Structure 1
Amino acid sequence: MIAGPGMSPLEFLAVLAAVALVAARWSPAGARRPLALTAAATAVSAGALLAVLGLRWQLVPVLAGAALALPSAVLPLLRRRTGPPPRRARRWPALLGSAACIGLVAAGAGAAWALPVPVFPDPTGPHEVGTAVVQWDDPDRPETATPDPGDRRTVVVQLWYPARRGPADTGRAAKAQYLGRTPQEARTVAHGLADYLGAPGFLLDGLPRARTNAVPGAAVVQGGGRFPLVLFSPGLGGVRTQNTAWAEELAGRGYVVAALDHPYDSAAVVLADGRTVRTRIAATGDEAEDARRSARWTAVRAADLRFVLTQLGRVDRGEIPGPARGMTGRLDTGRAAATGHSLGGAAALQAARQDPRFAAVIDLDGYPHGPASRPLRQPVLALTQSVGPGTDPDYIPRLTRVLELGTAPGYRLTVPGTAHLSFTDAPLYLPPVPSLVGSLDRASGLRITAGASAAFLDHTLRGAPGDLAGLLSAYGDLTVHRPDDGRPGGSPPVAFIPPTTPPGGLPEAVMGPAARRPPQSS
């Protein structure tokens, strides 16, 4: 629970105690003694508890400010048995000292607000959510990132799925750690992400402290038939958990989401034998060479998606063990969607183009890499930030060509106020800088992404009735590309549907009542 902007109740108490210690020096004489003694006891107790439980770096300046204010607040209150009482500091030095203490406290509180421990919104669907992680080796594909010809391609997959209710499974069980199965794995992945971004590792130390809404290893919910599948590929350098809020929301609505770590591409992947595989992918600065590399990485990721769909089919048939109890016979591989963010979105497009088992595609702000001459035969939803010709002149035209070539409807939803990372969990824990995470509040990008995705998947995989274009238009500026029945694969007409967000904000279905070229970012 968050008690203040980005802080736990104990951290917020430490901030209040530090401010009270500074204020005690300037309070009326009658209130000075009880305020100073209470604030001092609270600050010392909170600091000691934080040291035992784990002190975030943002609270260091807060405790330093409290430590500096403590002598001037408490010492003048002490009475000596002999001699004169302690002298109070002169006014101007005291003012400067108090200002320095307040500056330290404000800096720490501001850092905690800018880089909080993420708090994940509760899924709104009827199901509890379970999660499990599995590692699969593909015997038919060599690992091209290593020189050893005997290396086989390995992927690590995390699944979120509808889970049983009850104390034994979800009600009282511990929630899953964010970024990893264990605290050590979460710290390793957090440091890998920081290294990939070129930032000090301590900046993301709040991520391993976060808990999600899913229960590890919970049994699959009984009844309800078989569940549609949503396979997800993260952005370049991204990790399987980067869209956890989105995955949990879909799982609560009755989907099984399988998100992939792509070894040697994802920032850090911890394998079953304990080895950590770091990314070996880096841009060269040469546009033509980077385009060739992006196409090659996209092809590897597309093959990973197709392989995982095959493995999920084997789990459903009972040919290999499922990662959670009750999963055999519950996975509907005939209703599967390929999805991804950034470079993962490009991989989803390519996987669907190559594999007709995928019945739908969601591209979250991903530039389409690789060959695009073959038409997509599946309906596509592409969510994009507001990208103009001055930002990336090639992105929208290329995406438009891909959608126009399709033989099924394509929907491009441009969401105002978003940036490339708005479609991930990043707004929950990164500073609210518009160029980084958009200008929406921390949760709005997640609500829009999940709400639009759910509407599209319900319509394409479950055959939900209603006007899909009308539903999607509530989330942003919608352009619909409808195929020309007389000219398969030709350039269909384009329809623009303005947003129809109702008064009072987004619909309740959006998770509760309530610009760079994409492949260059995670």
Structure 2
Amino acid sequence: MWQRVPRPEDDRVTDIIAGLYMSPLEIIALFSAVALVVARWLPPAARPRVVIAAVAVLALSAIVLSVVGFRWQMLPVLAGAAVTLPFALPPLLRRRTGRPVWRARWWLALPGSVACLGLTVTGPVAAWAFPVPDFPEPSGRFAVGTRVLQWTDPSRPETFTADPHDRRTVVVQLWYPARKSPAGAQRAQYLGRTEQEARTVSDALARQVGLPGFLVDGVPRARTRAVFDAPVADGGERFPVVLFSPGSGGVRTQNTAWAEELASHGYAVVGLDHPYDSAAVVLDDGRTVRTRTDSTGDRAQDDKLAAGWTAVRAADLRFVLTRLTHLDRGDTAGPPAGRLDTRRTAVTGHSMGGAAALQAARQDRRFDAVIDLDGYPHGPTSPSLHRPALALTQAITPGTDPHYMPRLTQALKHSTATSYRLTVPGAAHLTFMDGPLYLPPVPSITGSLGRTGSPHVVAETTLAFLDATLRREPGDVASALSAHGSLSVHHPDPADPPDLPDHR
């Protein structure tokens, strides 16, 4: 699972080359800048040709990059070349005019060359630290299609606004098994339906974590493995449904790599934007709704607020499942209508989304399984869970909230179905979303599993659980999970009978 396979080239200038996370044009510019710096140390006969070629190629590359899209990571490369030019060109010009050529002693030139070379090399280091995300090739037998829908719940007032006529609206994105698209088909934009929407969302996410937006300017340039509105896969089979709620301030696309992998294995994945909670939600009419869920710094007050936000999210999940049932009946045209098996549905989430998934599963028996990706269980822990659950957590350290593990254990133990808690060594909180694909590989931020290892672990463990719970496929779930970390299994409590109505 999750083996990379050869893929055809597409029209992205940001294709990853040789692990440098730079486009071919950027690599050409980099080599030209390096050649300009080291020309000083070449034999005298070779210096003029190298300088002329390096300057010409570098200038042409800079012009083309300014047209197709210039990344800030190239600034150190161009700066190193610019500092070198005043020392590289004058000797060349003097030689052509017959004037005497003066060159600094090697012990004077060496520090400058090293400094310029170091400045130039900063470019690929920055490109490696903040790359354009390269999404893994899904390993399943299906291609992946995607679609964005917006739904309004007429029965629920919007609690984040004072307008009594405002009703709760959610934006969802579906990833579903699709037919293979023609060669050259445009892949879906990451973070939005358009690059403008993607930039709006990317800037909002950066502001939320205190990063300058330019640092992650490669993220809205990325394209995923799905194709918008691709025809649903042939065969007529119906696909189990997996709903997903993002982390606090997160957005519907934050787990795209995971969603595409599940879709390639025959699941329909539905990610939610929660307006006024997600960092930025662009509505169909062009309005952008930004987050209003700020913490106060007071633990008791923040716990109360988080419980309320979690309840809103859980209600969003239940509403979306109802709308998916209507979509499957043909109330809304387009894929994957008629192919959703909403009688086999899991609810999942990351961080606060995981808490919302647990709440939704307690409240609504239409959910057959629940997955919590490193989410603190905000809100009440009753009624008990009556569906199998999987909780993936990062390694517990002295810095971990001391209430987290007891609270999660309580939620899993009080259940009438078998539940699993898997602690993944080397994982951090952002391991369980797309962050490792485009953030610096700092263990405290994205974990130490690597850019390919992180999505592999999350996909393989959740697929093993979903195949067993939604598809009833034979196999030892505990064995499959324990291969990736430390596993605790909580068996059903026979003294706690089911008490939830089935709303199917």
TM range (shorter): over 0.9
CA contact (8 A) 2:414 2:493 kept: no
Which residue in the other structure is 2:488 paired with?
Answer: 479
Structure 1 334/76 Cα, relative in aligned 2: closer, same or farther at 3 Å? same
Which residue in the other structure is 1:207 paired with?
Answer: 219
Judge which range, 18-27 or 94-103, deviates more: 94-103
Q: 1:34-49 to 2 correspondence within 5 Å?
A: 34-49=49-64
Post-superposition offset of 1:100: 2.7
Deviations 1:245-304 (A, max 9, x none): 000000000000000000000001100000011101111110000000000000000000
Structure 1 116/81 Cα, relative in aligned 2: closer, same or farther at 3 Å? closer
Matched, 1:135 2:150: yes
Secondary structure, in 3 states, of the residue corresponding to 2:269?
strand
CA distance in 2, matches of 1:369, 1:407: 20
Secondary structure, in 3 states, of the residue corresponding to 2:451?
coil
Cα RMSD (Å): 1.5
Structure 1 489/385 Cα, relative in aligned 2: closer, same or farther at 3 Å? farther
Q: What code does the residue aligned with 1:293 have?
A: L
From 53, 62, 74, the equivalent of 2:89 is: 74
Post-superposition offset of 1:489: 6.1
From 446, 451, 456, the equivalent of 1:447 is: 456
Which residue in the other structure is 2:413 paired with?
Answer: 404
CA distance in 2, matches of 1:484, 1:430: 42
Secondary structure, in 3 states, of the residue corresponding to 1:134?
strand
CA distance in 1, matches of 2:106, 2:151: 69
Which residue in the other structure is 2:125 paired with?
Answer: 110
Secondary structure, in 3 states, of the residue corresponding to 2:41?
coil
Secondary structure, in 3 states, of the residue corresponding to 2:45?
helix
Which residue in the other structure is 1:179 paired with?
Answer: 191
Mark the runs of 5 or more structure 1 residues left unpaired by the alignment: 491-522
CA distance in 2, matches of 1:388, 1:125: 35
CA distance in 2, matches of 1:222, 1:85: 76
Judge which range, 206-215 or 79-88, deviates more: 79-88
CA distance in 1, matches of 2:107, 2:289: 57
CA contact (8 A) 1:78 1:86 kept: no
Q: What code does the residue aligned with 1:173 have?
A: A
Which residue in the other structure is 1:11 paired with?
Answer: 26
From 292, 302, 314, the equivalent of 1:290 is: 302
Q: 1:339-378 to 2 correspondence within 5 Å?
A: 339-378=348-387
CA contact (8 A) 2:146 2:174 kept: yes
CA contact (8 A) 2:258 2:458 kept: yes
From 232, 257, 266, the equivalent of 2:269 is: 257
Post-superposition offset of 1:81: 6.2
Work out the percentage of aligned pairs sharing the same amino acid. 64
CA contact (8 A) 1:386 1:415 kept: yes
CA distance in 1, matches of 2:296, 2:280: 20
Deviations 1:39-81 (A, max 9, x none): 2222112111111111111111111111222342333233556
Which residue in the other structure is 1:188 paired with?
Answer: 200
Post-superposition offset of 1:92: 4.4
Provide the aligned length of Structure 1 versus Structure 2: 483
Which residue in the other structure is 1:89 paired with?
Answer: 104
Q: What code does the residue aligned with 1:268 have?
A: A
Post-superposition offset of 1:93: 4.3
Post-superposition offset of 1:402: 0.7
Mark the runs of 5 or more structure 2 residues left unpaired by the alignment: 1-14, 499-504
Which residue in the other structure is 2:288 paired with?
Answer: 276
Q: 1:306-321 to 2 correspondence within 5 Å?
A: 306-318=318-330, 320-321=331-332
Structure 1 251/84 Cα, relative in aligned 2: closer, same or farther at 3 Å? same
CA distance in 2, matches of 1:433, 1:224: 45
CA distance in 2, matches of 1:343, 1:231: 14
Post-superposition offset of 1:456: 0.5
Which residue in the other structure is 2:243 paired with?
Answer: 231
Which residue in the other structure is 1:488 paired with?
Answer: 496
CA contact (8 A) 1:376 1:408 kept: yes
Q: 1:491-510 to 2 correspondence within 5 Å?
A: none
Judge which range, 368-377 or 83-92, deviates more: 83-92
Post-superposition offset of 1:390: 4.4
CA distance in 1, matches of 2:34, 2:398: 49
Post-superposition offset of 1:331: 0.6
Matched, 1:220 2:235: no
CA distance in 2, matches of 1:422, 1:474: 17
CA contact (8 A) 2:181 2:230 kept: no
Matched, 1:25 2:40: yes
Secondary structure, in 3 states, of the residue corresponding to 1:158?
strand
Deviations 1:217-268 (A, max 9, x none): 1111121411000000000000111000000000000000000000000001
CA contact (8 A) 1:229 1:257 kept: yes
Could you state the TM-score of these two structures normalised by the residue count of structure 2?
0.93
Structure 1 86/264 Cα, relative in aligned 2: closer, same or farther at 3 Å? same
Post-superposition offset of 1:381: 0.5
Structure 1 91/366 Cα, relative in aligned 2: closer, same or farther at 3 Å? same
Post-superposition offset of 1:90: 4.2
Q: What code does the residue aligned with 1:118 have?
A: P
Deviations 1:82-132 (A, max 9, x none): 552332234344333323312321222221111011000000000000001
CA contact (8 A) 2:130 2:440 kept: yes
